[in-house]
């Protein structure tokens, strides 16, 4: 399956709460990515990290935060500042050559 | 910044029909180009990619794509589709950065339905 695991598959939160989505990889890739997928919108880049302890904002970083303390892990926090957090979130690992995607987490904010 | 446009949001074909999905990108420099596919209930996976060389690239499951630099296009083709090709298809681009690992810019996707 490409070695990217995301948990949980479905996540429900109340409005105003921060929530952290997990992403782990066993591919030994330096780079990891977070995308958001909305119906009819394709995937949009939230954050990415090319090495441990470093990350860059993507196209839609507002209301999100990340950390990269270990090469294997790249958690995404959806904060209460994110105006429309309900979406399907995809994590990937890889390089310029190819990115391998996880199964995704569907977040619903009630 | 770069952008990607996929012209067909929904396509319905019968089995054995030929397929061509359009993809155009906007960027002033050299790019790497990709087609990804998302089958129902499965991970997003790579169909094919183009970095340089022969502009006609072949991918998995009989798919191919042609890079036309003058048209900023990277259309996906398959001569004869099967019911199992029903999926969402995404065109993506990243600027060539000499081996750097920037994120991908995706098109909005094309939902392909193959009728038996």
At residue B85, the pLDDT reads 98
Alpha carbon distance A50, A62 (integer Å)? 20
Mutating which of A9, A42, A56, A68 best tests the B interface, going by the most B Cβ atoms within 10 A?
A42
Average pLDDT over every residue of B83-107: 87
At residue B96, the pLDDT reads 78
Of A1, A50, A103, the CB nearest to B101: A50
At residue B62, the pLDDT reads 96
Strand B10-14 and strand B110-115: the pairing is parallel
Q: Is the pLDDT of residue B101 over 80?
A: no
**Contacts with B4 from chain A: Cβ below 8 Å:** 42
At residue B2, the pLDDT reads 84
Q: pLDDT tens digits, residue range B17-74?
A: 999 999 999 988 888 999 999 999 899 999 999 999 999 999 999 999 999 999 999 9
Average pLDDT over every residue of A3-32: 93
Contact at CB, B103 and A48, closer than 8 angstroms: yes
Per-residue exposure over A26-44, b if at least 16 CB sit within 10 Å of its own CB, e if not? eeebebbbbbbbeeeebbb
B109/A contact by beta carbon, under 8 A = yes
Confidence of residue B99 (pLDDT cuts 50, 70, 90): low
C-alpha dihedral over B108, B55, B14, B87, to 10 degrees? -40
How close, in Å, is residue B44 to chain A by CA atoms? 6
In 3-state terms, what secondary structure has residue B84? helix
Q: Could you tell me where the beta strands, DSSP code E, fall in A1-110?
A: 4-7, 10-13, 19-25, 31-38, 42-51, 54-57, 64-66, 76-78, 87-94, 99-101, 105-109
Among chain B residues, the shortest Cα distance to A31 is held by B101
How close, in Å, is residue B14 to chain A by CA atoms? 23
Alpha carbon distance A108, A78 (integer Å)? 11
Mean pLDDT of chain A: 93
Q: pLDDT tens digits, residue range A32-84?
A: 999 999 988 899 999 999 999 999 999 999 999 999 999 999 999 999 989 99
Q: pLDDT tens digits, residue range A55-68?
A: 999 999 999 999 99
């Amino acid at each position: 399956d490409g070695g990217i695991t995301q948990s949980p598959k479905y996540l429900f939160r109340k409005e105003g709460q921060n929530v952290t989505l997990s992403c782990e990889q066993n591919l030994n890739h330096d780079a990891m990515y977070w995308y958001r997928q909305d119906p009819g919108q394709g995937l949009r880049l939230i954050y990415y990290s090319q090495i441990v302890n470093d990350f860059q904002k993507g196209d839609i970083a507002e209301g999100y935060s990340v950390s990269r303390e270990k090469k294997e892990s790249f958690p995404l926090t959806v904060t209460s500042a994110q105006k429309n957090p309900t979406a399907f979130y995809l994590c990937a690992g890889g390089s310029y050559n190819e990115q391998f995607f996880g199964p995704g987490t569907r977040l619903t904010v009630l | 910044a770069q952008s990607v446009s996929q012209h067909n949001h929904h396509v319905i074909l019968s089995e054995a029909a030929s397929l061509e999905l359009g993809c155009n990108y906007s960027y002033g420099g050299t790019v790497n180009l990709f087609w990804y596919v998302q089958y129902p209930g499965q991970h997003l996976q790579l169909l094919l990619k183009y970095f340089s060389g022969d502009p006609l690239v072949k991918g998995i499951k009989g798919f191919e794509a042609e890079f036309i630099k003058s048209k900023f296009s990277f259309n996906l083709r398959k001569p004869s589709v099967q019911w199992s090709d029903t999926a969402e298809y995404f065109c993506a681009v990243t600027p060539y950065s000499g081996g750097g690992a920037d994120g991908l810019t995706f098109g909005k996707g094309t939902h392909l339905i193959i009728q038996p």
